[in-house]
Chain A
Amino acid sequence: MVGVPTFLHVSLIWVPAICTFLLSFTNWNGFRFDNMEFVGLRNYKQLFTVFEKDLYEALLNNAWVLIFLFVVATPLGILVAYILDKNLRGTAVYQSVFYFPVVLSLAVVGFIWKSVIYSPRQGVLNVLLNRTEEGNQISWLGDSDQVITLVSDYGLSKNFLAIIAPMIWRHVGYIMVLYLAGLKAVDPSLREAAAIDGSNEWQSFKNVVFPSLKPVNIVILVITVIEALRVFDIIDVLNNPIGTDVLSILVTESILGESSNVGRGSAYGVMLLMLCFGFVVWYLRSTFREDDA
């Protein structure tokens, strides 16, 4: 009975992952196997010496996505869900509005943000800010100057912040739906009891509702981390302007297209795998520790 899922899991996840790991020690253009050459750790060495700017920028950008989703998008999604759970008039309409970005096709998302919102001349933002004149325009997607500088060349660039905005826009709806489903399952008598004991809205959320939703909270935590690590699509549809690389973009850039560099792309892939792995190990350890206690 467990045979089929195990087989699928191993063949679709572990075999490709191990292949990627092995390929990261080769120089291969992806055409014929006899073209493959074993180069040991050279690809990794190059990632840290030749392509280090791309790599550090990507790692840092992945971290920014994680921070913004975690600090802004996820709490916002929970807040929206909590408010909409109160059976407001027209709640279905509000729910649809917030969930809409999740349903939209990526081509449409790209069009909305690139042509409608961020376009230098006709974009909604520049029109509202009255910055559409020649020389006066704000280049939302093109300006890679840093908003936050950590060390010399590394920090958070303005245009990456502009790309994080649509990510938040989509993530809020996603979290809202998940949390709303969880909230429906909270026993109303718990909240009544809290109200009778004199707790206010915030106290009853913090001390009663939130802890009772632990399984949903874990799902949301996992989803947020995964979304941040695998982020690719929105950056890609906005054409990956300068300063907006993330790991999955580097993997794709190296492997897709002509004369692909499978070895280096795989090495980037392994970096991503390590990050996911680190998270999984941390998560499993903390869950088991709690279960023991």
Chain B
Amino acid sequence: MSNSYPQPGAWDAYVARRSVIKGGAAVGAFAVGGSVLAACGGSDSFSGEIGSASGTLNIGSNASDPAPQAGLQAVVNAFPNADVDVVINTLDHNTYQENITTILQAQDDDVLAWFAGFRNKFFADQGLVGDISDVWENITGLGEGFKAASTASDGNQYFVPTSFYTWAINYSKKLWGENGYTEPTTSDELIGLAEQMMSDGVTPFAFANDGKWPIMGTFDALNLRLNGYDFHVDLMGGNGSWTDDRVRNVFTTWESLLPFHQEGANGRTWQEAATDVEEGRAGMYLLGTFAASNSEAFAADMDFFNVPEFDSAIGAGALDAPIDGFQMVASPTNEAAAKEMLLHMSTPLAQDAYLSEDPSVVASNSGANTSVYNDLQKKSSELASAATGISQFLDRDTIPDFAGACGDMFAEFIENPGGVDGMLADLEEKKVAIFADFNAG
């Protein structure tokens, strides 16, 4: 039970580095936003109890898929304060994310679904989301790591983590059982397994990149294995060069693995790739554990293992484990109710309610009922708690503008690996320009 959250050390290290990286820029931005933040932080102090608020509370949500939508509804249904009228405003996942800045500035909703780490901190530093340190004073069961992932440059908290999932190599138990494959623990074993699969007529790795984000996970995994967690976080933070030999080495390794991957990934959706794994045409698939949501049959048949070690000096301790949760807008219409709801969302009561509808993620609260976890959730939870470093996934770990440039470059690379040097030089040039704009803004 106590293992159901990531190790504090990993999160602390993660956020400590982030603060250093963003510190310089944040101070300038914060000086301007300070008055706004002060206004919402102190004026309406939070009692720490759920029950005194009333009125209407608006929650903005990107949970447009059936399971997460039902999950959020269950959380709201379990809210112990019946005096508050809760309205959930759901937008399509992509629309919500593309319009998040407009949604934040309109301030129509009090509480908004969002992502931990860099993407929450950025808005906090801009004065667009509200300080909820007083809610955090009353939160129990969330480890230091989660608190660190919710803390902005000023040391206050702006986010309530509710759940997370992990990225790993997924496979079909049925196919593996029939062919007698076993989980590899080193890169040599992984390549040996891939060769075995080739001779069995199975494509070793399913591969898809529709939307230009799924293969970011492959880059993250290889960079974490070959260069380690600190190097990866630095690179995402705009420090370190993309023309560095160590980055080049990631692409050399990636290129050597490409023959084991499905061709034409840029024209395939992850759902199609997951179906290839499910139906035994492909042996493994590096993706978030949400791969299980592709079908009920696959959810029952899927298992996964951590990306194996590539360099014994680096180990296999670091992984992507994105955290989802909620933030409050800077000046909510109903601040008392918003804070009560955020406190509620951090509790085992709310998280159990959510997981009863959407079992594809793992609860953030250590008090959540892990006895109802399925095997995948248990394994995810164990994987994260054993991690020595946790990143959030490339498009959550760096400036969105730059994540887009990386997405383009990776997509180009898998089609034309021979041209990688030119692409990396180009990406480095873009990085310099994008980070300069970002730090000036």
Contact = CB atoms under 8 A, between A and B. Distances in A.
Interface of A: 27-32, 34-35, 37, 46, 49-51, 53-54, 114, 118-121, 134-135, 137-145, 159, 239-242, 253-254, 256-261, 263-264
Interface residues of B, number: 51
A142 B267 contact: yes
B268 A120 contact: yes
Contact of A134 (B281, B404, B441): B281
A131 to B, nearest CB: 11
Nearest to A245: B408
B32 A35 contact: yes
B26 interface: no
A35 B25 CA distance: 12
Given A142-B267, A143-B264, A258-B122, 15 more contacts: A28-B441, A35-B29, A51-B430, A53-B426, A120-B264, A134-B276, A139-B266, A142-B209, A142-B210, A142-B268, A257-B401, A258-B119, A258-B123, A259-B441, A261-B434
A139 B269 CA distance: 11
Contact of B264 (A137, A257, A259): A137
Nearest to B126: A31
Interface in B394-409: 399-401, 404, 408
B408 A242 contact: yes
Given A134-B262, A242-B266, A259-B399, A35 B441 contact: yes
B267 A139 contact: yes
B128 interface: yes
Interface string B206-232: 000111100000000000000000000
Nearest to B28: A35
B266 A141 contact: yes
16 contacts: A32-B32, A35-B29, A35-B441, A50-B433, A119-B272, A120-B272, A139-B264, A141-B267, A144-B266, A144-B412, A242-B266, A242-B408, A242-B412, A257-B400, A258-B101, A259-B438
A52 to B, nearest CB: 9
B265 interface: yes
A114 B276 CA distance: 17
Q: Which 8 A/B pairs are nearest by Cβ-Cβ distance?
A: A142-B267, A139-B264, A142-B266, A139-B267, A29-B441, A242-B411, A141-B267, A258-B400
B380 interface: no
A27 B429 CA distance: 17
Contacts of A142: 209-210, 264-268, 415
Contacts of B400: 257-259
Interface of B: 29, 32-33, 97-101, 105, 119, 122-123, 126-128, 203, 209-212, 262-269, 272, 275-276, 281-282, 399-401, 404, 408, 411-412, 415, 426, 429-430, 432-434, 437-438, 440-441
A29 B268 CA distance: 33
A145 B430 CA distance: 23
For B32, B126, B267, B276, which residue has the most chain A Cβ atoms within 10 angstroms?
B267
Contacts, number: 125
Contact of A50 (B210, B268, B411, B429): B429
A134 B207 CA distance: 12
A256 B269 CA distance: 23
A27 B440 contact: yes
A287 to B, nearest CB: 40
Given A241-B411, A254-B401, A27 B267 contact: no
Nearest to A119: B272
B433 A46 contact: yes
A81 to B, nearest CB: 34
B100 to A, nearest CB: 6
A119 B275 CA distance: 13
Looking at chain A's contact residues, the main secondary structure is loop
B440 A37 contact: yes
B272 A257 contact: no
Contacts of A239: 210-212
Nearest to A118: B267
B164 to A, nearest CB: 20
A37 B440 CA distance: 8
Nearest to A240: B212
Contact of B128 (A31, A114, A140, A256): A31
A144 B415 contact: yes
Nearest to B422: A153
Nearest to A115: B269
Given A29-B441, A46-B433, A134-B262, A139 B268 contact: yes
A259 B437 CA distance: 10
Nearest to A243: B412
A28 B441 CA distance: 6
Nearest to B436: A27
Nearest to A162: B267
Contact of B401 (A46, A240, A241, A260): A260
A159 B264 CA distance: 11
Contacts of A159: 266-267
Contacts of A259: 122, 399-401, 438, 441
B263 A256 contact: no
A35 to B, nearest CB: 5
Nearest to B432: A50
